[in-house]
Structure 1
Amino acid sequence: MALVIYTGESGLWEHIPWWVIVISALAISSGTAVGGWRVIRTVGLRVTALQPVHGFAAQASAATVIEVASLLGIPVSTTHCASSAVMGVGATRRLSAVRWGVAGNIIAAWILTFPICGGLGYLFAWLLKVIF
């Protein structure tokens, strides 16, 4: 979303300063290194019990949504796509196969992500503006 706001269009990589790309890559990789294992453990083990075929179905559906959204220039979260696909796969067995308490916590985190990240984005942009 920041890319679309920054450039006015999606996919225009030549207009993005190199330092923005580097800082973004460092932030994303740091977040994955620090907390990625917890996300994988929660989605892969705590939401529902997955068999290999269920994991494949979840990955295929998440990949399809991500690819179509990318082609349309719509920013989507890969984590949101994958975890909601796992919930959907679990629900195909029976609705009670999904631990809805855990799923509810994930959904609450999704809802809180937008205002928190928006506020932090504002704060970091303001700090960079003051510094530079």
Structure 2
Amino acid sequence: MYWRQATFGELEQSAQVRREALERILPRLRIADRCALEGRFLVVRGDLRTYRIHLGSANILMEPDDAYLCIVQSRRAGEGKVFLPFEDDRLSLILSKAFLLAADTEITDPSIRAQIERSA
């Protein structure tokens, strides 16, 4: 219970600012029609599932059962990062995950695919 509250709970000030930035950025993205801001989450509609990315922790819950989706960031410097004209590594991570999940049928990583398909 503590872990879930700590990783999916209310947004701190930095995450509130991140949400405001996303409000301006999202309409300009090619995945805009698959994304929506709902409370403390960026909701991304893939073809296989719908995903909720927490704006504070960047952790992901999958609908309809709120199963946790673990996506580990690449260890190679700069790989998978979205360039932003300001410094916010968490926002870059959130956007990278959003682009990945919006095209969930194209994901080839077996560990990610297994999690998505496990209870879809």
TM value normalised by structure 1: 0.30
User: Which has the larger Rg?
Assistant: 1
TM value normalised by structure 2: 0.32
